[in-house]
Every structure is written in C-alpha cells, then in structure tokens.
C-alpha cells in the first residue's frame, strides 16, 4: 500500500512498535507482518493471505488490533459494554473493570438504568440514594486517571432508559460542557415513548428499585428537553432500544441495554466486539465497482476478524466467555464519500441512497456466506441454539439470494452472531488515505499547521483531479476553497463539479438521516454517523431529524449543530459587519510601580504562574508563565495576558473576563487543589477569581459597549492540541484531519 506523508506521521506516532526510548522500531511491512503473523497463528498460508490483505489497502482492522497484535498487551477489541447493577459492590467492581479495559485500549459503554433514583431508600444504611449522576462523575474522574493504551484518554458511553425517574436530570447532565468530559450520553427510548410523542400523550417514569410509577409527564416535555440540549451542544443522543433488540441475534442470552462509546456497536453486558473496515474507494476500476474483488476481500476480512477473537487476551474472564459464546464481529466500510466522488454520484441523491443499499447488502450477504462456510469448518458460535438464525427470525430481503442463504444457516449454522457494523474509522481511514466511514467529506481543502507557523494546503485527491481535468486547478482557487471547505459559494466552479463534490454542511440533515437509514438496512449492529446542522438550525429542525430517524428504522442518532460548543474558533468569515458602530476606548496608562501577587496553578500542560498587579484603581495587568513551553503555546499565553491587561486598563470588570474564560476546555484537563482545571484559560480565570477573594471589589466606572459580531459562515470545533490544525466533529468524535488526533 502507498503510504502518504500524513499516514506515516500517524503510523510512527500511534501504531509502530517502539523501543524503550519511544522510537519506532518497525515500518509498514514490519507492522502488518507482526499483525498478520499473530492473527494467523500457526497457519503459514494464512500469514501470507493476511499480509496481502492488509498491504492491499482494501481492509484494515480496528486500532487495538493494529497496535496490540503481537505485542505485550494482546487486547485486540475496540468495543466493550459492562453491566452496572443496583449495588455499591457492582458499581465499583465495574469501575475497576472499566479501568482495566481503558488501560488496554478499549472503550466502554454502560447502562445506568438499573440504579435506583435519587432519594430512594437505602436499607443497609437507613439513608437515601445519591442517584445516578454522582456515580457517573466518579467514573468520569477515574477515566481521567487512566490513559488508554498509553496514548489517549478512554471513552465512555452512558445510557439511561427514558423511563428512569432521573431522566430529566440525565438529559441536562452535560449542559455544562466542563462536566462528564469523558462521556458521551444517550437516552434509550422505546417505541411506546416515540408514539406518545407523536400523539402528545402521557408517559410514566418508573422506579427501577420499586418498579412503581413515580411520576407521569407529557412525553413531549421529555422529548423537547432532549431536543433543546442537543441543539445547544450536541448531547444527548438517542438510542432506539426496541429497534436494537428487535434485531438482537441472541435474545435468549439477554437484552441489549447499551452500546460502545460511538453508538455503532450494541452489546450485551460483558460483551466485546472487534471491528474492521473495507476501503470502498479501492475497488473502482474503469469507472465501476469491481464486485468480484470486493467479494474476495469481504470473505478474507470476515475470516481475519473471526481469528482475531481467538487471538485476543481479554481483561476479564466474564468477557472472554461472553465474546466466545457469541463470536460477534463488525465488518464495515470506509471511503464511501470518495467512492461517490470517483463514480460522480452526489451524496445527497436517490442514486446515492440506492448504491448505499446495494453496496451494504453485498457486504452483508457475502460476509454471512463466509461465516456459514466457517461454521461448516469450525462450528457455529456456541450460543447459536435459540438465536435468530436457529429460529429463522433473521430479517433480510433484497436483490441477492437471501432465502437460500438463510436456509443454509438453518442447517449448517453460522460462525458469528453478528457480521456487520459501520464504525468510526478515524485514524485507520487516514492511514488508508480515504474518507471516514460513510460520512461525507467535512472539507475539500484543509489547512495543516506545520513548524515555524507555515501552513500547508491539503486537497482531496479526487477533487484535485476534477479541477485539473476542468483546467481550473490553481493555488489561489484552493485557498478560496480552504476558507469555506465547500465550493458551493464559488462562481468560478461549474455546477457539474459542485453537484458531485458536496461536503457535510452542503447536505441537508434529511439526506444525512436517509443515508444512515440506507446503510442500516443491511447492518447487523448499527451505523456511526453524525447528522450535521448549520449554525442557524432551529430546535424544530433537530426534532424533525429525530423523528425521521425513528420512522426510517435507524438504531440511534447523533446530531451536531455547527458552532454549538463553547470555546470554538472561526474557520472563516472573520470579517466585521460594515455597519457596526466603531468603539474607541483609550486604556489608562500603566504607572511606573504596581503591586501584586503571583499564584501557582497546576494545569494539564504543567505548572502555570499567574501574576496579577494592581494600580490605584484596581487590577491593571496580568503576566503568565508556564514551565518550559515555547513556540506557539508561549505566544498564546503571552497574547492572553496582554489582552487581559488591555481589558483591565480599559475598565472591563474582572468578573466579565472570568465569565469569558472560565470553563473553556482543552483535551488535557486536570485537578488542582480539589478543583477541575479544564484548560490554561480556565486556570487564568481561577487565578482571577482567587484575586477577587482577597482583594476589595474593583471600582470601575461603567462603560457602554456595542456588541460587534463576526459573520458566521462555518465554524469548527476547535484546534488540535497536538498540531494546531482545525478539528472536525464527525462520526460522533472529535478528529484532526492533519495528524490523526481523536477523542470520542
């Protein structure tokens, strides 16, 4: 496989085996040899087959397999769900198990639905329960303390059934985005609730402790609160539990109550799943999909993922037993957007939806056919008896011979309880130099920040080819595209190109949901997909998307309204409105001598020293120093200090400055003296708060300000903590397209 410069950076930093000094000691061939040899075991023919499969660039397994196969950890699964029962012993035993999983590189999902509600009686202590939120906070803090695989924080999913008495508190649990920072949260809704929303009916909240109704609300009150918070900052998401359990392959083993952190893998308690993705863009030959080659890779990939189960060392005996009882795998796709570019099919078109169904039916059908062949050789998964395959309840119709295949399953069996999942492909899609999962491209051109402040333009290769074919390629045009990411505003680009090369925000939420639904029809598990909204979208728009997802039989939905998270930066559109009144304020002069204090505050980046000096009118200047940081970080801290100083001498109140800076979050939060410090900006805000606590209130005359707002054409989530490039919100995760940094 051709390794791009970007791919090589990611591989060296996150995947290649390293020596004691942290230096890579393998290259691409060394890594895939390590993985192929480990997964193949003693079968030499498989070693060669798996090496070719990985080297083709047509399939890659999930990151834990690439990182850990053949290494000391040997934990190869990405997705876990752990049970939480209504007892202190269960809560903290699960917490310990979650820490072990995070340490090994996996993400965890939990259902908190079995925990009794706040103020319920606790007989053993004759007291009352604290409810679910404090325990979620304990889990969140523990996750902070454990680095996942030594490279990043672990990720969690918290799900609460909509019937739980604390559902309203849960919905608002992340309204303050400095809380529960290591959790994604989703409400588990049932059909009864969704129908009650449609009919404006009542809905009962039921205590999991007493099984009695504790309160009755209008279903729309709950639903509207979910919409309100999702509109505000993207959470909570929705999981359609009845739809998930309708397709539960082993209902006789248990009910599915939770998913992994990104929502694409519903799992039973103590179950795990390993995933892998096929690069669809690698199968275009002479302007068409090479279906025979795709069939071959599907079958090779299924066998590879099945072997991963037997090579994995799971952190818990209970998980090992459950995984090997069901043998679930999750084969998905990536490169979907690039495939559409190559075939000149718009993402937001009926032709696009039809191809999605055709491609996913093909993957699902031949994946299951291979699993039946493996069952004939090695036996069905142990919990096959009573499964949907044994009872004939597998629901599939389409263009392929499903009746014949289902008949084979009923006589031969099947090796894996699930075959297909569409997962976030984050860094593995970057390694393969293709688009993520089934998402549209977020941007056709993006800017990468490199050393010494230099900025490089990275262009989607298919878009670049289209521009060159049309005789339009130029650096000036690319810089224009980079300002927006999209091309729909550029008159110099013909409609024929604009129609094909659409990006996330060019596509209406309705088409996003329709595409998710089209893939879901032939996916055993679920589909990781973000439904993108423009900044000016209304709560009613999000409500419509939620209802459409339910009506089109999706298993869940995650939405994100552009710019809805605080602390975001503008990617473009930073011009000031021409008609805005100009305000001229002359800051007071700094006296020759000032007096002040210096505070030491721990941050996730190191020791910070904040000096606040005063003149006769109060605080007038701030100086910030931090350890040995240099370059851009040092310049940013100096800029913050200068702007605060300018504001203070321009009669802006300290309280106003605190409100603007407090709670801004970076990827490296920490604790200092019992308080969370969410970023360097938050640390400065806390220093200013401390200053006010031991200084008299500053007497500042009132000055009226007119708010000057920049135009907002497109916002990004923020900047990458590792390379400084803009971050995307896609597939339920934050992702840097430059260096591969991600956080779910």
Catalytic status, residue 264: yes
Same domain, 326 and 453: no
Tell me the pLDDT of the chain averaged across its residues.
88
> Is 706 part of a structural domain of the chain?
no
What pLDDT score does 719 carry? Answer: 65
Task: State how many domains the chain has.
Answer: 4
Angstrom distance (rounded) from CA 494 to CA 482: 18
What pLDDT score does 446 carry? Answer: 81
Q: Are strands 156-161 and 107-111 parallel, antiparallel or unpaired?
A: parallel
More confident position, 618 or 175: 175
Same domain, 126 and 242: yes
Same domain, 52 and 191: no
Angstrom distance (rounded) from CA 257 to CA 354: 31
* Mean per-residue pLDDT, 457-477: 94
> Is 599 part of a structural domain of the chain?
yes
Residue-range definition of the domain harbouring residue 295: 5-16+26-71+260-412
Same domain, 87 and 118: yes
Q: Using CA of residue 469, residue 472, residue 478, residue 481, what is the dihedral sign?
A: negative
What SS3 state is found at 641? helix
Percent of the chain with pLDDT over 90: 66
* Mean per-residue pLDDT, 102-130: 88
Same domain, 646 and 676: yes
The answer to whether 715 and 562 have CB atoms below 8 angstroms apart is yes
Domain boundary among 354, 378, 412: 412
* Paired tokens of 600: 């030491």
Helices (H), 622-667: 631-648, 654-661
What beta strand segments (E) does 377-482 contain?
Answer: 445-449, 455-459
- First-to-last alpha carbon distance for the chain, in angstroms, is 28
> Is 587 part of a structural domain of the chain?
no
Domain boundary among 214, 246, 278: 246
Same domain, 39 and 135: no
- Domain at 403, CATH number: 3.20.70.20
What beta strand segments (E) does 193-340 contain?
Answer: 202-206, 213-218, 237-240, 258-259, 266-267, 271-279, 284-285, 288-289, 329-334
The string of pLDDT tens digits covering residues 159-173 is 999 999 999 999 999
The one-character DSSP state at 453 is G
Helices (H), 432-474: 461-469
- Write down how long the chain is: 744
The string of pLDDT tens digits covering residues 524-535 is 999 999 999 998
The answer to whether 276 and 305 have CB atoms below 8 angstroms apart is yes
Catalytic status, residue 262: yes
Angstrom distance (rounded) from CA 197 to CA 208: 22
* Mean per-residue pLDDT, 237-248: 97
**Residue written as token pair 């100086």:** 623
What SS3 state is found at 343? helix
The string of pLDDT tens digits covering residues 444-461 is 998 766 544 556 778 999
pLDDT at 497 over 70: yes
> Is 551 part of a structural domain of the chain?
yes
User: In sequence order, which residues have a C-beta less than 8 Å from that of residue 478 and are 6 or more positions away?
Assistant: 445, 457, 459
What beta strand segments (E) does 225-320 contain?
Answer: 237-240, 258-259, 266-267, 271-279, 284-285, 288-289
More confident position, 491 or 703: 491
Same domain, 337 and 486: no
420-434, 536-550, 580-594, 603-617: least confident range: 580-594
Rounded to 10 deg, the angle between the 44-55 and 291-311 helix axes is 120
> Is 645 part of a structural domain of the chain?
yes
pLDDT band at residue 583 under the 50/70/90 scheme = very low
The string of pLDDT tens digits covering residues 122-136 is 877 777 888 999 999
Percent of the chain with pLDDT over 70: 89
The answer to whether 398 and 374 have CB atoms below 8 angstroms apart is no
Angstrom distance (rounded) from CA 528 to CA 544: 19
**Alpha carbon 63 to chain centroid, angstroms:** 14
* Mean per-residue pLDDT, 331-343: 98
More confident position, 125 or 174: 174
Angstrom distance (rounded) from CA 334 to CA 519: 12
pLDDT at 569 over 70: no
**β-pair partners for 729:** 734
Angstrom distance (rounded) from CA 219 to CA 197: 5
Angstrom distance (rounded) from CA 547 to CA 525: 20
* Mean per-residue pLDDT, 2-9: 90
DSSP per-residue codes, 565-582: STT-EESS--PBPTTSPP
Same domain, 162 and 278: no
**β-pair partners for 148:** 152
Domain boundary among 246, 277, 294: 246
Rounded to 10 deg, the angle between the 654-661 and 631-648 helix axes is 150
> Is 580 part of a structural domain of the chain?
no
What pLDDT score does 104 carry? Answer: 82
The answer to whether 420 and 266 have CB atoms below 8 angstroms apart is no
Same domain, 212 and 121: yes
* Mean per-residue pLDDT, 48-69: 97
Cis peptide before 236 (omega within 30 of 0): yes
85-99, 184-198, 573-587, 719-733: least confident range: 573-587
> Is 66 part of a structural domain of the chain?
yes
Catalytic residue among 117, 264, 303, 361: 264
* Mean per-residue pLDDT, 288-294: 98
What pLDDT score does 455 carry? Answer: 66
* Mean per-residue pLDDT, 427-441: 95
Same domain, 126 and 209: yes
Angstrom distance (rounded) from CA 5 to CA 347: 28
The answer to whether 262 and 528 have CB atoms below 8 angstroms apart is yes
- Domain at 669, CATH number: 3.30.390
Catalytic residue among 37, 38, 235, 262: 262
Same domain, 546 and 468: yes
What pLDDT score does 669 carry? Answer: 78
Catalytic residue among 260, 326, 416, 525: 260
What pLDDT score does 286 carry? Answer: 94
pLDDT band at residue 236 under the 50/70/90 scheme = very high
The answer to whether 190 and 202 have CB atoms below 8 angstroms apart is no
pLDDT at 632 over 90: no
User: In sequence order, which residues have a C-beta less than 8 Å from that of residue 697 and are 6 or more positions away?
Assistant: none
What SS3 state is found at 99? helix
The answer to whether 515 and 526 have CB atoms below 8 angstroms apart is no
pLDDT at 318 over 70: yes
Same domain, 164 and 264: no
- Rounded to the nearest 5°, which phi and psi values hold at 484? -120, -25
């Amino acid at each position: 496989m051709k390794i791009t410069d970007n791919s090589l950076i990611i591989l060296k930093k996150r995947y290649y085996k390293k020596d004691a000094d942290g230096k890579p000691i393998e290259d691409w061939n060394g890594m895939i040899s390590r993985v192929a040899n480990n997964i193949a075991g003693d079968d030499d023919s498989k070693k060669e087959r798996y090496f070719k499969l990985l080297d083709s660039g047509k399939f890659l397994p999930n990151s834990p397999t690439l990182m850990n196969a053949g290494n000391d950890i040997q934990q190869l699964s990405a997705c876990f769900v752990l049970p939480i029962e209504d007892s202190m012993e269960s809560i903290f035993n699960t917490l310990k198990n979650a820490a072990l999983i995070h340490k090994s590189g996996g993400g965890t999902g939990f259902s908190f639905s079995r925990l009794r509600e706040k103020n319920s009686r606790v007989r053993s202590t004759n007291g009352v329960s604290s409810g679910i939120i404090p325990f979620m906070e304990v889990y969140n803090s523990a996750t902070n303390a454990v680095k996942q695989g030594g490279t990043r924080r672990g990720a969690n999913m918290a799900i609460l059934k909509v019937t739980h008495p604390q559902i309203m508190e849960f919905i608002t649990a992340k309204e303050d985005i400095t809380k529960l920072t290591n959790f994604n949260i989703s409400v588990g809704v049932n059909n009864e609730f969704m129908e009650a929303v449609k009919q404006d009916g009542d809905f009962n909240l039921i205590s999991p402790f007493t099984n009695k109704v504790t309160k009755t609300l209008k279903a729309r009150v709950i639903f509207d609160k979910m919409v309100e918070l999702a509109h505000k900052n993207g959470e909570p998401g929705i999981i359609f539990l009845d739809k998930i359990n309708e397709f539960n392959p082993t209902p006789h083993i248990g009910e599915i109550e939770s998913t992994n952190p990104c929502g694409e893998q519903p799992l039973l308690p103590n179950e795990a799943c390993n995933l892998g993705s096929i690069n669809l863009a690698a199968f275009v030959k002479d302007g068409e999909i090479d279906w025979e080659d795709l069939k071959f890779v599907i079958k090779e990939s299924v066998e590879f993922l099945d072997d991963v189960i037997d090579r994995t060392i799971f952190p818990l005996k209970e998980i090992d037993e459950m995984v090997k009882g069901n043998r679930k795998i999750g084969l998905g796709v990536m490169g979907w957007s690039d495939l559409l570019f190559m075939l000149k099919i718009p993402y937001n078109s009926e032709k696009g939806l039809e191809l999605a169904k055709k491609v996913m039916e093909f993957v699902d059908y031949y994946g299951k056919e291979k699993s039946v062949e493996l069952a004939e050789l090695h036996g069905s998964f142990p919990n096959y008896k009573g499964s949907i395959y044994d009872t004939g309840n597998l629901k599939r119709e389409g263009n392929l011979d499903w009746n014949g295949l289902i008949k084979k399953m009923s006589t031969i069996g099947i090796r894996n309880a699930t075959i297909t999942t569409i997962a976030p492909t984050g860094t593995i899609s970057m390694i393969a130099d293709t688009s993520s999962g089934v998402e549209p491209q977020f941007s056709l051109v993006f800017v990468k920040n490199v050393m010494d402040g230099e900025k490089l333009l990275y262009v989607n290769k298919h878009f670049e080819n289209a521009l060159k074919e049309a005789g339009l390629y130029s650096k000036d045009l690319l810089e224009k595209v980079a300002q927006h990411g999209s091309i729909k505003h550029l008159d110099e680009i013909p409609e024929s190109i604009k129609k094909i090369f659409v990006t996330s925000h060019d596509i209406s939420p309705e088409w996003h949901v329709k595409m998710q639904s089209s893939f879901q029809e032939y996916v055993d598990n679920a589909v990781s997909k973000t439904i993108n909204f423009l900044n000016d979208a209304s709560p009613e728009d999000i409500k419509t998307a939620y209802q459409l997802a339910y009506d089109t039989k999706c298993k869940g939905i995650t939405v994100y309204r552009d710019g809805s998270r605080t602390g975001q930066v503008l990617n473009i559109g930073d011009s000031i409105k021409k008609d805005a009144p100009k305000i001229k304020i002359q800051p007071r002069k700094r006296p020759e001598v000032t007096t002040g204090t210096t505070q030491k505050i721990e941050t996730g980046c190191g020791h910070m020293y904040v000096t606040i000096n005063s003149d006769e009118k109060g605080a007038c200047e701030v100086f910030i120093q931090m350890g040995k940081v240099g370059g851009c970080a040092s310049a940013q801290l100096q800029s913050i200090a200068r702007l605060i100083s300018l504001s203070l001498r321009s009669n802006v109140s300290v309280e106003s400055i605190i409100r603007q800076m407090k709670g801004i979050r970076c990827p490296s939060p920490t604790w200092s003296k019992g308080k969370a410090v969410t970023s360097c900006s938050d640390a400065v805000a806390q220093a200013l708060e401390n200053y006010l606590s031991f200084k008299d209130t500053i007497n500042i005359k009132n000055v009226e300000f007119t708010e000057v707002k920049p135009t907002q054409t497109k916002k990004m989530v923020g900047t990458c903590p590792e390379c400084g490039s803009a971050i995307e919100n896609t597939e339920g995760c934050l992702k840097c397209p430059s260096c591969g940094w991600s956080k779910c």
